[in-house]
Structure 1
């Protein structure tokens, strides 16, 4: 589920669940384990990468539709745990985004320190409202942090999926490069960062990113139960069934 490629002391964690790296319990658990273990395995920085055309398609909706409420709670909890693992990583993490990156995949990228996306007709965004899901405040915060409150509101409420050039202009991603170079460019960015005195850099980074951790830690059990209540609402179920029908085609 996770391929680990070591580039010296920079380790690349590649999502590997074809065809679109849809997130389920198994993949999320493997991601959490890989992030947590990396510093003890000699990693000084991480790259999170995905597929060539789709970084991650987000949460695996067909899989989620087979689960009961307890199963849904477990999978969504795992998703937030994976997001927290990225946010709390004691070493820097770059998201190398070679293709489209909707919904849950976008959330994971927003939890990283830096995002490098492929130039071209690739889209990224929090499109949850398009498929009938409300976006929790903890996730909205991640977008507000990079785009500003007003722009984040417009993007999130509309469920907008924006192309790479607009994503760069709005701050959703930090840099564009050719699709085949996202990992190489991620390595260069991290190598430059790692030339700084290590302890001061890491301490400063921890201070700068503390707000991300607070936002994600603020999503508790009560918030999860409210989210699941919404999952079972009539209009959400109708939207999810419509999505399932499109996927079957």
Structure 2
């Protein structure tokens, strides 16, 4: 579910590999969390976090989540926020190589990375949770505001907007565009530029600069999911999610 490849200059690529769309279920989320820890333990100086060509991640595996009772569902969502927290608290820089479409949970994970390189073209990224009946939790809203500003974040969140790559770059949701074939290499170049700096000064300054992001998400397991869980089980939310799953099944 997660493939690891060593790149140059102590940089490791962690590539999600759960076909067809890298939907985030507990197994994949656990693999990502473990992969981040292992990369650091094995001495990685920087991490490229990538997906499949054309699809970074379609977000949480909603059809699977709808089958779960509340305790298992809450555990699954905590696993997702654990990944976000580990990205925010990573002791080494992490660059997201957004290799294609990145709705919802895919976009969310990228918010907690140091840098975002997206494949140019008709690929879309955004936090479309409202469109599928979900409330966007506070830590995610804070992470988006940090990138694009308060008012822009409000407009994107309330509309559940999905942006093509050029527009995502314009508003600051991603930092750079590259051809689909060069997304990983471009993310690695960003990391290499940081790693060429005096290491202690770079890492300590990075830690200070990202303190607000770490405060927003908190350490793994610390996110209060109660408001989100209550909203998940509301009739309207269940109806919208059920209709979404029905559409997905019809496409298959």
TM-score range, shorter-chain basis? over 0.9
**Partner of 1:11 in structure 2?**
12
How far does residue 219 in structure 1 lie from its aligned partner after superposition? 9.7
Deviations 1:96-153 (A, max 9, x none): 0110000001010111000000111010000000100000111011111111000100
Structure 1 moving runs of 4+ over 6 Å: 218-222
Match of 2:23, SS? coil
Residues 42-74 of structure 1 show CA distances to partners (whole Å, capped at 9, x for unaligned) of: 200000000111100000001101110001000
1:67 is matched with which residue? 68
Report the counterpart of residue 149 of structure 1 in structure 2: 150
Q: In 2, distance between residues paired with 1:39 and 1:225?
A: 32
- What does residue 46 of structure 2 align with? 45
* In 2: Cα distance, 1:55 partner to 1:179 partner: 11
| CA separation of 1:36 and 1:73: change in aligned 2, threshold 3 A | same
- With 19-28 and 209-218 compared, the bigger mean Cα shift is at 209-218
SS at match of 2:125: strand
CA contact (8 A) 2:57 2:101 kept: yes
Partners of 1:101 and 1:134 lie apart in 2 by: 18
Residues 215-246 of structure 1, C-alpha deviation per residue, up to 9 Å, x if partnerless? 00189778312211111101000100110111
Name the SS for the 2:57 alignment partner.
coil
Larger CA deviation: 59-68 vs 211-220: 211-220
Separation of aligned partners in 1, 2:39 and 2:50: 15
Aligned counterparts of 2:74 and 2:23: Cα–Cα separation in 1: 17
CA distance in 2, matches of 1:224, 1:192: 38
For 2:113, the equivalent position in structure 1 comes to 112
In the TM superposition, 1:95-106 aligns within 5 A as 95-106=96-107
Per-residue CA deviations over 1:194-216 (Å, capped at 9, x if unaligned) read 11000110000000001111000
Unaligned runs of 5+ in 2: none
- Any idea what SS the aligned residue of 2:225 has? helix
CA RMSD of aligned residues (A): 1.3
TM-score between the two structures when normalised by the length of structure 1: 0.97
Q: Which runs of 5+ in 1 are unaligned?
A: none
The TM-score, its normalising length taken from structure 2, stands at: 0.96
Distance of aligned partners of 1:59 and 1:34 in 2 relative to their CA distance in 1, 3 Å threshold: same
**Is residue 138–residue 218 contact of structure 1 (8 Å, CA) maintained in 2?**
no
**Structure 1: distance between partners of 2:222 and 2:110:** 24
The aligned counterpart of 2:182 is 181
> In 2 relative to 1, CA 207–221 (structure 1 residues): closer, same or farther, beyond 3 Å?
closer
